[in-house]
Amino acid sequence: MLNKRRNLVAGICLLILLLVSVTPALAGQYYINELLDGNPPHQVLKEGPVVRVIQPVVPKPVPSAREEKDEEVKKETPLRGKVALTFDDGPDTHNTSAILDILKAENVLATFFVVGEKVERYPAILKRIFNEGHLIANHSRTHADFSLLTNDEIVELELNPTSKAVESLTGYYPLIMRPPYGSLRQDSVIYLQEQSWRIVRWSLDTFDWDSTRNKPEQILSRIQSQHHNGAIILMHCNGPATVRVLPDVIKSLRDLGYEFVTVTQL
């Protein structure tokens, strides 16, 4: 009996080790995105941690004939509001250039959360983003998981070098940032806010980064079901799926009555 108990304890310990050995960055990415994808309605604050807002169920009163008619008219009237398209992980010469071509043709401004190493590698694309009027923001230098870094390391190794690289090319030092994978400890949130950094996550993930569910119809379905005024829409520069679906995303949101702005204009 004692040997059986020992074997059971050993098995449980082995299972725990296997679970915690999952790559932290990948686990963080899936955690925040599954949270957002599986539990609507939601709101992601522009500063601070993910916050879930669930409204209590309230019985609706039976509408009068006039109210029903007014409701029908309201449904036919396009929504009026603003949304921000955001693109992570650029710049690069292929996908970012194609995204910029589409945005220019559609007369849409967006926000690009850039990676410092790529800014250094593709300065001409970074300058094009800036010169065409888009907002440039900071997405770290190496795409590290910030939850594994000290607060000083986050600023000194990841944020400051990236913003300095952008400043050397444009004269603009971004103080808006998005942590890779949306991963950031609460103490880091407080620390960065005290250092004047503005933390921007997202409220609508297109999942263009996930090859198992980023077909155009899947992305458009998320737009149709999760769109809302003030939406911060997460997309990426590092895959062809974004380029393929972007014109339809813009058309779909325009048909819904939305205006495209940068995150600072929401």
The predicted model gives 148-172 an average pLDDT of: 98
Flag whether 248 is in a domain: yes
What does the alpha-carbon distance between residue 118 and residue 260 come to, in Å, rounded to a whole number?
26
- Residue-level pLDDT at 63: 65
Domain total of the chain: 1
- Residue-level pLDDT at 183: 95
Average pLDDT score, the chain: 82
End-to-end CA distance of the chain: 65
Flag whether 28 is in a domain: no
Burial class (CB in 10 A: 0-12, 13-18, 19+), 134: buried
The tally of CA atoms less than 13 A away on the side-chain side of residue 70 is 5
Torsion of CA 250, 256, 262, 265, to 10 degrees: 170
Q: Which of 249, 205, 250 is closest to 231 using CA atoms? A: 205
- Residue-level pLDDT at 80: 76
pTM above 0.85, yes or no: no
What does the alpha-carbon distance between residue 167 and residue 123 come to, in Å, rounded to a whole number?
11
Flag whether 189 is in a domain: yes
Flag whether 98 is in a domain: yes
CATH code assigned at 109: 3.20.20.370
**In Å, how far are 90, 91, 94, 100, 155 from 125, measured between CA atoms?**
9, 6, 10, 9, 24
Catalytic residues: 88, 236
CB 82 within 8 A of CB 256: no
The boundaries of the domain holding residue 184 are 81-265
What does the alpha-carbon distance between residue 161 and residue 143 come to, in Å, rounded to a whole number?
13
Name the more confident of 65 and 142: 142
| Confidence category of residue 256, pLDDT binned at 50, 70, 90 | very high
Of 14-23, 28-37, 125-134, where does mean pLDDT reach its minimum? Answer: 28-37
C-beta atoms surrounding 33 within 10 Å: 18
Q: Mapping DSSP to helix (H, G, I), strand (E, B) and coil, where does residue 200 land?
A: coil
The predicted model gives 184-199 an average pLDDT of: 97
Flag whether 15 is in a domain: no
Name the more confident of 9 and 190: 190
| Confidence category of residue 26, pLDDT binned at 50, 70, 90 | very low
CB 204 within 8 A of CB 249: no
Flag whether 38 is in a domain: no
Of 26-30, 105-109, 167-171, 194-198, where does mean pLDDT reach its minimum? Answer: 26-30
